[in-house]
Chain A
């Protein structure tokens, strides 16, 4: 228990460090809020030209797309872990974490934790603003279960992010992260319903964690009908997480081992 507390404490300390550094860039936060409002406004007006009923019986395209956009923000952050580790390596700061008792695997988890938590919090603020400013009819009673789904989705997507970190540590390259973010959100139905896809490509939407995450969030927060029964989507999401977690941690461990042998662990 004490050991777990030590690891948890070190991860929290890393998050606190990253939060302090992040908050020192005040204009970045203002820029993010303005960007968010701009994005919401754009979709607000696009939603006015989308025909009623296009995304479900209630015809709320704006609410539909807002959930897609905030989930994509969390996805982007989760898959951005490799970029954060790359920056740490380039600045020579990752060494301090690597040579600590925390170790490389937990070290990567700790540096990825703040951006993901921040993105999740930011997604919550974005949803709140969409309710307050644009009148999105959010089901407030379902916020707690939606938060649970959000966390599960973030963990699941973070596991994919760890695979990119493993690639970065082993081969000094995380090529494809941007494509994967775009692909997952596109194929996961962030901006439009999956039924619009041709049948031959639709299967790709069902073999990745983004789809059940965004679909369950929409179901809970704005009352859309889920593509599959909600319980099945939840089982799929848990399944993806359970499957991806050992794979990503194992890949990370192998990458650390490989780059320690090659002598490139500290290089970029």
Chain B
């Protein structure tokens, strides 16, 4: 059993979840279009995506490789601009207030990059809370909490290049969660995680939901999931289809 949101069996969803109204959304993608390529080779990877995620919920977005999951999340982080449409978190757009927008989000990119080889686990976390503008009196507590929460306490002094692949992923997750963001954007978070690592991830998600946060979980279609989602979608031909 992994966390309180685990799907231990293939139990069906009890009822069709009601999508939140735009006004109730913690995260709102409205009419998001994104093209890749130029000229004749230009194609729309996202075609007018509307996705509203309410506080206290986890939304899964699946899809084949190249469907546009990562593009959607990168638009959510604002490092990629949509060609049309808007994204808001807590009613704030990144163009309106970059600082407040990004204080509210935590992003895990797919893959295993984003760590400094010769920097310690604790160093990474302490750096991350400073980057996230966490107030001085909370920093140490949050760092310790993340170290314990992701099973990194015994590795706190170890350099990132001395970690196993699974430990690196736990550190990447810890960096995503450490500043207690309201909204988590997770791109293929299961990478390299063992059963224990998955339990830690689900536990951390529980914590986010308890704080009335929201999670968008992206993973390839068909991947076994360690937790029960409030809503699930597939990106197909650039559009979101409820599952």
Chain A residues packing against B (C-beta within 8 Å): 3, 6, 9-10, 12-14, 16-17, 20-21, 24-25, 91-93, 95-103, 257, 260-261, 263, 265-266
Contacts and interface: CB of A to CB of B under 8 A. Distances in A.
A92 B111 contact: yes
Interface string B162-198: 0000000000000100000000000000000000000
Kindly name the residue among A96, A103, A265 whose own CB sees the greatest number of chain B CB atoms within 10 A: A96
Contacts of A263: 34, 36, 74, 80-81
B155 interface: no
A263 B119 CA distance: 29
B241 interface: no
Given A10-B130, A263-B36, A99 B78 contact: yes
Contacts of A91: 113, 116
Nearest to B111: A92
A103 B98 contact: yes
Given A93-B115, A266-B79, 19 more contacts: A12-B130, A13-B131, A14-B131, A17-B116, A17-B127, A20-B123, A21-B118, A91-B113, A92-B111, A93-B116, A95-B113, A96-B114, A99-B105, A101-B103, A102-B131, A257-B81, A260-B78, A263-B34, A263-B74
23 contacts: A3-B99, A6-B133, A10-B131, A14-B131, A16-B127, A17-B123, A17-B127, A20-B118, A24-B159, A92-B109, A92-B113, A92-B114, A93-B114, A99-B102, A101-B98, A101-B99, A102-B133, A257-B81, A260-B78, A261-B81, A263-B36, A263-B80, A265-B80
Given A9-B130, A24-B118, A93-B116, A99 B107 contact: yes
B130 A13 contact: yes
A25 B78 CA distance: 35
A14 B113 contact: no
Main secondary structure of the interface of B (DSSP, over half): mixed
Contact of B175 (A12, A96, A257): A96
Contact of B79 (A6, A13, A17, A260): A260
Interface in B69-93: 74, 77-81
Contacts of B175: 96
A263 B43 CA distance: 14
A260 B81 contact: yes
